[in-house]
Amino acid sequence: MSAWAGLLASIALPWIAGAATVVALRGAAGRHELPLAAGYGFLIGVLAATLVLRAASFAGSPWHPMLLDAAMVAIATIAGTVAFRARASAPAGDPVAGSLAGETAPYRWLFAAALALLAVRILGLAIEVAVSPLRAYDAWGHWSTKARVWLEAGRLVPFVSGGTWLAQGDPGLYTDSNPSHPGTLPLLQVWVARHTGGWNEPMVNAPWLAMVVAFALAFYAQARAAGARASLAMVATWLVVSMPVLGQHVAQSGAADLFMGAAYAMAAMAVWRWSVTREPGMALVAALSVAAGAWIKIEGLLWMATLVPAVVVALHRRAGLILVGAAVAAFAAYLALGPERQPMLGYVLRNRPVNVLPTLILQVYTLDHWHLAAYAFVAVAAWRWRVLLAPRHAPATLTVFCALGLVVVVFFFSSAAFGVADETLGNRFILHLMPTLVFYTLVLLLDPGAPAGDQPSAQATKAADA
C-alpha cells in the first residue's frame, strides 16, 4: 500500500465507521442525516480507532494496519447492519440540493458564496497541512512526543513526570513536557503513521484537516436542525470556520486545541438538541462526543462537566438551576475560606485573582483573532436576555454560563493566569469555547418566539419541566 493510499485509508475508515455508527444510533430520526453523520462520524471514528489501538496494545497484539482496518470494517459493518435494520440505510439526508430547491435565487447565491468562501479557506489550510513539518510548539513538547515513542515501540509505554523519570532511572519509562495528558491524539498520529509506513510529518497532520471539515459538517447540520435555513446555516458555518485562530490551529497541526474546541462544540450542540427533542439517538451521539472530548485533553473533563447542568435543567429545571447556584456558591466559599493554593486537574487554584482582563480584551476584542464573534455573542445575548432562561434555551444558557465561569476561574484564579498574561495560553483555551459560543449566538438569533422549521418542540422540555 502506498503512503497516500494508506493515508486515505487511515482517515476514511474511521470516518466511515463513525458515520455508520451515528446513522445506526439515530435510526430513522431526522432529515439531516448525511452532514450530521459525516460530521460526528469523524470524531466518533477517531475515538473508536484510538480505542482499537489501546485494546490491541493491552492484548499484546501488534498494531498491524490490516488488523486495525479489520476492526474499523467490523465496526462499520455492524453499525451499517443496525442502521439498515432500522430502515436508515439510505439516509434521506439533508440533500443540499433538496434544501436549496425551496430557496429563492438570492438565498441560493448566498449559500454558494458562503460555501465558496469556506472551500477557499479549507483548501488553503489543506495546502499548509500537506506540505509543512510539525510546527506547533505543544506538539513538540507533549503531543507528538508520545506518538513517536509509541509508534517506535509498537505499543503503549508509560509516560511519567520528569521527576519520576529521573528518580526511577527505568529505561522503560518515558517523559515529556506534560506526560499526564490523555493519549488520544498521539494515538491518532500513530494510527496514521502505521498506515503510511512510518513517521511522515505532513501525513500525521492530516487528521487536523479532517477534523475541521467534520466540524463544519456537524455545525451545518445542527444549525439546520436548530431552524436555520440552508443559506444561513452555510453562512454560519463559514463564519465559525473562518475564525483566524481556528485556521491557525489547523495550519499548525499537532496541538490538541482544535480537537478540543470541535469536540466540545459538537457535544454541546448534541446535548442542546437532545434537551429539546429528547431523541434517544441524539443522546447517544452526545454521549460519544462527550467521551471523545473528555479523552482529548485534561481540560476536556472540565469542559464536558459544563454540560451536566444542561442535562439536569432539561430533565428538571429547578434542580439544574440549583446545581449551578451551588457551584457558584462553592466557588465563592473557596474564595472566602479556602486555601490560598489548591491543586486541581493540572491547575493550581488561587483564592486571589490575577488581573488578566487587559490581555483578554486585547486577544478577544482588539486583535483579529476571532473576527467579530465575541462582539456578536455579547450583542445577541444582551438583546435576547429575556429568553436566555426560557425552557427552550436554558440548557444552552447554563452550559455557556458554566463555560464562561470556567474561563474566569482558569484565567483569573489559577496558575494559568500567568500563561494568559504572557499570551501563551489565552487563545488556546478560548478556542475550546469559541465555536460553542458561535452556535449559541446563532441559536439565540434564530429564536423566533415560536417554533419554526423542524426546530424540535419546546413542549417536550416544558412537559418534562412541569
Partner 1 sequence: MHDALDVPADSTPVRFVGRVGFHFAVALLVAVLAVVAWNGGPRFSVAQPTVEVPASALVAVRGRGHAEPARYVVDAADAEGIVLLAAGGVSFAAADYPRITWHLPWDVPSGLQVNIAWRRRDAPGRLYSEAVEWSRGPAYIDLNGHPDWSGTIQEISLAIRGRIAAPLPVGGVRLRSAAWSVTLVDTLSDWRDRALVFAPGGFSSLDGERAAIAPLVPVVAGAVGIAIAALGWRARRRGARFPLGAAIGVFIAGWLVVDLRTQWHFARQHAANLAIYTGKSGDDRSAASPDGRLFETARKLRDATRERPARVLVLSDNTHLATRIAWFCYPENVWHGARSNARRPAVAPDQLRTGDQVVLVLYEAITWDPARQALVWQDGRTRAATPILVEGPALAMVRVDAPR
Q: Which residues bind partner 1 (CB under 8 A)?
A: 104-106, 117, 120-121, 124-125, 127-128, 131-133, 135, 137, 140-141, 144-145, 148-149, 151-153, 162, 165-167, 169, 171, 173-177, 201-202, 227, 229, 232, 235, 239, 242, 244-245, 247-248, 251-252, 362, 365-369, 371-372, 375-376, 379, 423, 445-446, 448, 452-453
> What are the CA-CA distances from residue 127 to residues 192, 215, 312, 331, 339 (Å)?
18, 19, 44, 46, 50
Q: Which is nearer to partner 1, 217 or 446 (CB)?
A: 446
CB of 369 to partner 1, least distance (A): 5
- Cβ 233 to partner 1, closest distance in Å? 11
Closest distance to partner 1 from the beta carbon of 461 (Å)? 20
Are the beta carbons of 291 and 463 closer than 8 angstroms? no
Smallest gap from Cβ 294 to partner 1, in A, equals 26
Q: Which is nearer to partner 1, 273 or 369 (CB)?
A: 369
Looking at the Cβ atoms of 244 and 343, the one nearer to partner 1 is: 244
Which residues 6+ apart lie within 8 Å of 369 measured at CB? 243, 244, 245, 363, 427, 430
By beta-carbon proximity to partner 1, the closer residue of 30 and 247 is: 247
For partner 1, give the closer residue by CB, 345 or 372. Answer: 372
**Which is closer to partner 1, CB of 43 or CB of 243?**
243
The nearer residue to partner 1, 315 or 362, going by C-beta atoms, is: 362
Torsion of CA 30, 36, 41, 44, to 10 degrees: -80
What is d(CA 172, CA 153) in angstroms, rounded to the nearest whole number? 10
* DSSP per-residue string spanning 362-422: IIIIISTTSTTHHHHHHHHHHHTGGGTTSTTTHHHHHHHHHHHHHHHHHHHSBTTHHHHHT
DSSP bridge pairs for 349 = 342, 414
> Rounded distance, CA 35 to CA 9, Å?
20
- Minimum distance from CB of 213 to partner 1 (Å)? 17
* Smallest distance, partner 1 to C-beta of residue 439, A: 16
Instruction: State the minimum distance, in angstroms, from the CB of residue 217 to partner 1.
Output: 20
Nearest distance from residue 361's CB to partner 1, in Å? 10
Closest CB to partner 1 among 23 and 190? 190
Please tell me the chain's helix, strand, coil percentages from 3-state DSSP, rounded to the nearest 5.
70, 5, 25
Whether 285 and 457 have beta carbons less than 8 Å apart is answered as no
157: helix, coil or strand? Answer: coil
CB of 125: closest distance to partner 1 in angstroms? 8
Q: Which residues of 184-207 are buried (b: 16+ CB within 10 A; e: fewer)?
A: bbbbbbbbbbbbbeebebbbbbbb
Contact 195, 7 (CB under 8 A): yes
Bridge partners of 174, per DSSP, are 159
Beta carbon of residue 307, minimum distance to partner 1 (angstroms, whole number): 27
Pairing label, strands 347-350, 341-344: antiparallel
Nearer Cβ to partner 1, position 174 or 411?
Answer: 174
Choice between 287 and 378, CB closer to partner 1: 378
DSSP H or E stretch at residue 205: none
Q: Is 133 helix (H, G, I), strand (E, B) or coil?
A: coil
